Structure 1
Amino acid sequence: PGIGLLILLLVGGYFTFRYLKSVGADQINSIAVLPFANASGDKETEFLSDGISETLINNFTKIPELKVAARSTAFRFRGREDEPKEIGRELGVGSVLTGKLIQRGDNISVQVDLVNTTDGLQIWGNRYEGKASDIVSIQQRIATDVSSQLKLKLTGAQAQQIAKTYTQNPEAYEHYLRGRFHWNKRTADDLKRGLQEFQHAAEKDPNYALAYVGLADTYVLLEEYAGASSNDTLPKARAYAQKALEIDDSLGEANATLGLIYNRSWQWIDAENEFKKAIDLNPNYPTVHHWRAINLRDLGRPDDALAEIKRAQELDPLSLIIGLNVAVMYMNKNDDNSAVAQCRATIELDPKWWGSYHWLGVAHLRFGRNQQAVSELQKGVELSNRSAWPVSFLGYAYGITGKGSEAKAILTELEEKYPKREATAMQIAAVHMGLGDKESGLKWLEKASQDRSGELVRITWYPPFDSLREDSRFKDIIRRMGLPE
């Protein structure tokens, strides 16, 4: 019996060794951090489980040698029960990190599991427990432990980055997570709620750099999503981004935001410089490649813009907004077939998102498929809850397809919204162009110029203004923005 037991132990030890070797010995250089499950049964704590996942993603992207699935890509697996091997194939990553958070009163428990996507075997797992006030240190320990299990060969600086915590104040961190939770929803109401949360985070910890990045990120989007005046929002966005960099000049996210702010402020060289700084600091951050592509497009460099947005898509293949901008860049190169294909691919990712139908309608209109164009544009308007931007282009489409009364009704709707800052002058100009009223179109573009509208930069390529390209007044507006004609 003793010999038999010894043989059994040796054989068992051999297979255990083989198991550990197969899943743990080799370095893995890619990972997807899936949204942690909120097992508390309380929707109000969902921001916390999401926030841990998002922060880990952001920290891991600071390591150039590690390929990290972006947030918008990884979060598409929320609630799905795909096998790790399937996720690995779809995202092209060698490992998947999953987690489950339980909060009971002031106590929290976080279960984390790391799986090898090649064979589906678990590499490692651990449970972290503590008080809610310990969430920052728990997150730091998770990041350090995961990097160790992946056998990443980190420099001292990289090890600090991967476990970096930007605040030790748990209340500030909670407000920041709530702010990002609302910011990611991209509605006017959520952006305003996010603004309040980021402000609370900064009040709780005045040296919390990420709180100021959150404020800057929100203010720079308020014109586009909520109709706010860029004269009011962009100076605030710039001040907050600069404040973040004063606190931490290694924060590439702040440089990326500053680049978009400079783009919307018509400061093209400054924008490009900030984007380059951001890429140097965090080359795996898909948003900086997305926003830099927009800047390159506005500067009349369509080939460079397409290459840059393709890089963003490589880093974040399931992002709706990045996929949509790939379609727009194809349109800028007059490759409408590729644009249509990309719009349809984006619709497959999320059939309820208005943006894909909007731009599919734009592409159909360029092809002269007017009936299909109007149908898709109407879907976009409906799904957006009649947001001013898709409503505006539908009004333009109505105008050029002979539906004058419908176009005029939209014109009235937008003109009533303009004084309340729920629509922009450029959106109104587009409808006038659809109705063939170039003088009114130019008048409203001039108003947008006087407003120093951030979205005015689009007129160099936006279809409603094609017939104005040779008009000296139109060229003057472009010159004043410092853009090539």
Structure 2
Amino acid sequence: MQQPAPARLAFDDVLIDFAGRRLVRGGAAQPLEPKAFDVLALLAGSPGHVFTRDEILDAVWGHRHVTPGVLNRVMTLLRQALGEDAHHPRLLHTLHGVGYRFDLPADAAAPVPAALPADPAAEDPAAASTAAPPLTATARQPPQRRASDQPSHRRAWRWWLPPLLAALAFTGWLWWQPAERAPASAAPTGAAPAAPGVAAAGRSIAVLPLANASNDAEQQFFSDGLSESLIDALSRFEGLKVIGRTSSFQFRGGNADSASIGRRLGVSYLLGGSVQRAGDMVRINAALTRAADGSTLWAEHYDRPYRDLFALQDEITSAVAAALQVKLLPPEETTGHGDRPPSGNIDAYDAYLQGLKHWHDEDFPRAAEYMAEAVQLDPAYAMAWAHLSGARSTAAVFWKEPPVVAREHMLEARLAADRALQLAPGLGPAHAARAYVAFYGFDHRGALAECRRAVQLAPDDGTVLNGCGYTLAGIGKLHEAIALRERLLAIEPLYTVNHSEYAKLLMATGRLDDAQKYLRIAEGLSQPKSSPSIQFMYFAIARGDSRAALEVARDRPSPWREMNLAIALQASPDRAAADAALAKVLADRTWEKTDPYLVARAYALRGDYGRTVNWLERAPAGDILFMLGDPIILRARDDPRLVAFCKKAGLPPPATSEALGLDQIRAAAKH
């Protein structure tokens, strides 16, 4: 029969204080997540006893809401806290396929019986009254730390298995931006003191997606939305580099170790945990760890009414900021933030988070529906108005909506952007939303001014940097677009699209070697692996390497293979093959409707600028908008027919674009 756990266990320089729920090594307290200490109490309370994984999961978590990967992570934390070498364990042993065993060193002191008082509880009656009892393998209820953890007949917590991690390959490129020193801010009540060495280290952090611990897959939007809100809140602290959502969310599931995540994201610290929403209550577990060794700087468990969610978010971010010794930026430097409804309407926030999920899924019509619901619930919700505008305008231009519907949605987008700015004149995303409306309406001066203002107000907002990167490139301001892409690289090191778009801009400005490097990075980040990006074909054309261009074209799926072969052959010396390939494509009349812009590119490569313009006139606005960044089309930048077309379409004169024409790029490469 299993023996009751002792009150204290001491060996070497380690003290496990079961009653006080603390682990001390070398005289220093080792911060542990509550669940991690519960696992330690279970194992160390019965030295030499083998606990199966199911027994541990059942005793500590009730088994219903975690994957085995969570237990793996906890064991890693425990080994680090105990100073264990996972490859040569002395205390914590893994029995593969079975479970875990805790062994005491041969010369360890005898455990202090549970009947004896244990420090600090014996010395502090208050501590004794709140100390949780040690777990046993026969326990069936999760360990209870506070009154809010007691069973309630009014609510039943439900759990859901977190989604599986989609494996991510990374090419090894690492962006590092050391943070400036900042004076420490006072720690909030209950927060752990900052760990030694934090002040001297680069302050950089990634918020990993909070695990959805609700027994409802439909609540994924909520856990993701809270994670993104924490990213937004932490970016308001001075000298703290915060990785963006796209990159940090690629580590959903927790299978990668902290050191690997830190290297890939280029950060020193990780914030992770889980969130469970049930009825009018929300439970959040959060932990701040050092990426290098996985050691815990701060961890806390919260049970709060859902109506107190915003205060809870502030409490978490304040605790993290205190642990990292960073301070809040002055109010005038944080005007780009504000993802909460000003009225505190929690239903409006819920709709906003739903819309945000569809926004990131690039389902902009659905995103617009939820953002419209959010502003209906809180008409003063500026951030929701801004996202409503962006979703409506993007769908109107790129979703091939019927003309009448597209016009209605563009009008709605314009009004929504104006409303957002009336409510919050200093809101960066609102200026970006107005920039998109102007850009899609071929108001390039307005788009340029609004993008510059948006970036000034929200310099670290990934959505603003990405959207304005596209917009400025379309206007022909490639050097400004490159600067935005470089800024986005620093906070989104794993964002494949940004690497690809950055490479396109570099190529269009004649920086072919750099462009090739970032195309390779984008290729390495792509999951699942597919055929090489079509950008490699255009890169080869810019290099004058027709053979390489043809190899990429042949690797495309049909019918794109035929079209890309026709384009690649126009840059080859085989004129007969080029003529035959283009004739074959033109015989298929569907290209006139599906992608006339590609046919225009083929004719531009042939030097037939009259037919180039003829096919551009059939192209949709979504393609024409970005024409001034296209080196192939800009071969004809001085041709009167292209100049006239741009004027008619509402584009600036092609000569004003900072993108080089293909011939200029080739000439520069020879030098």
Q: Please give the range of the TM-score, normalised by the shorter of the 2 chains.
A: 0.7 to 0.9
Output aligned runs, 1:185-196, within 5 Å. Answer: 185-186=361-362, 190-196=363-369
Select 2:226's aligned residue among 52, 57, 66. 52
Q: For residues 287 and 356 of structure 1, what CA distance do their matches in structure 2 show?
A: 26
Output aligned runs, 1:62-141, within 5 Å. Answer: 62-141=236-315
**Which amino acid in the other structure matches residue 482 of structure 1?**
P
Pairing 1:476–2:644 present = yes
Select 2:360's aligned residue among 184, 205, 215. 184
Output aligned runs, 1:433-444, within 5 Å. Answer: 439-444=610-615
- Indicate if the aligned counterparts of 1:68 and 1:315 stay in contact, CA closer than 8 A: yes
Name the SS of the counterpart of 1:269 in structure 2. Answer: helix
Identity, % of aligned pairs? 25
- Indicate if the aligned counterparts of 2:397 and 2:440 stay in contact, CA closer than 8 A: no
Q: For residues 200 and 392 of structure 1, what CA distance do their matches in structure 2 show?
A: 43
Deviations 1:421-475 (A, max 9, x none): xx6x645644666798754542343355xx7x25423323425524533431211
Does 297-306 or 250-259 show the bigger shift? 297-306
Deviations 1:369-402 (A, max 9, x none): 45654554576667xxx8x9x9976764577744
**Which amino acid in the other structure matches residue 244 of structure 2?**
A
Select 1:145's aligned residue among 307, 313, 319. 319
Give the direction of change, closer, same or farther, for the CA distance of 1:349–1:282 in structure 2 (3 Å limit): same
Give the direction of change, closer, same or farther, for the CA distance of 1:351–1:85 in structure 2 (3 Å limit): closer
Provide structure 1 residue ranges, at least 5 long, that are not aligned to the other structure. Answer: 418-422
TM-score (norm 1): 0.81
Equivalenced residues, count: 462
Match of 2:497 in 1: 321
Give the direction of change, closer, same or farther, for the CA distance of 1:370–1:227 in structure 2 (3 Å limit): farther
Does 306-315 or 134-143 show the bigger shift? 134-143
TM-score (norm 2): 0.60
Output aligned runs, 1:400-479, within 5 Å. Answer: 401=578, 402-404=580-582, 406-408=584-586, 412-416=589-593, 426=597, 429-430=600-601, 439-446=610-617, 453-479=621-647
Select 1:245's aligned residue among 421, 426, 431. 421
Match of 1:23 in 2: 195
Q: For residues 438 and 483 of structure 1, what CA distance do their matches in structure 2 show?
A: 16
Pairing 1:310–2:483 present = no
**Which amino acid in the other structure matches residue 481 of structure 1?**
L
- Indicate if the aligned counterparts of 1:396 and 1:433 stay in contact, CA closer than 8 A: no
Q: For residues 171 and 311 of structure 1, what CA distance do their matches in structure 2 show?
A: 34
Could you say which structure has the higher helix fraction? 1
Deviations 1:133-164 (A, max 9, x none): 54444334333333333332225638987897
**Which amino acid in the other structure matches residue 277 of structure 2?**
Q
- Residue 204 of structure 1 and its aligned partner are, at CA, apart by 1.9
**Which amino acid in the other structure matches residue 645 of structure 2?**
I
**Which amino acid in the other structure matches residue 641 of structure 2?**
R
Q: For residues 238 and 500 of structure 2, what CA distance do their matches in structure 1 show?
A: 26
Q: Which has the larger radius of gyration?
A: 2
Provide structure 2 residue ranges, at least 5 long, that are not aligned to the other structure. Answer: 1-9, 16-22, 32-191, 572-577, 656-671
Match of 2:400 in 1: 227
Deviations 1:58-117 (A, max 9, x none): 232234532110111111212242232332232222211102122345543211111123
Give the direction of change, closer, same or farther, for the CA distance of 1:125–1:22 in structure 2 (3 Å limit): closer
Give the direction of change, closer, same or farther, for the CA distance of 1:356–1:320 in structure 2 (3 Å limit): farther
- Indicate if the aligned counterparts of 1:216 and 1:257 stay in contact, CA closer than 8 A: yes
- Residue 344 of structure 1 and its aligned partner are, at CA, apart by 2.2
Q: For residues 312 and 277 of structure 1, what CA distance do their matches in structure 2 show?
A: 17
**Which amino acid in the other structure matches residue 446 of structure 1?**
E
Q: For residues 384 and 532 of structure 2, what CA distance do their matches in structure 1 show?
A: 31
Give the direction of change, closer, same or farther, for the CA distance of 1:265–1:442 in structure 2 (3 Å limit): same
Name the SS of the counterpart of 1:112 in structure 2. Answer: strand
Aligned CA-pair RMSD: 3.8
- Indicate if the aligned counterparts of 1:407 and 1:435 stay in contact, CA closer than 8 A: no
Give the direction of change, closer, same or farther, for the CA distance of 1:206–1:428 in structure 2 (3 Å limit): farther
**Which amino acid in the other structure matches residue 39 of structure 1?**
A
Match of 1:236 in 2: 412
Give the direction of change, closer, same or farther, for the CA distance of 1:127–1:338 in structure 2 (3 Å limit): same
Pairing 1:207–2:219 present = no
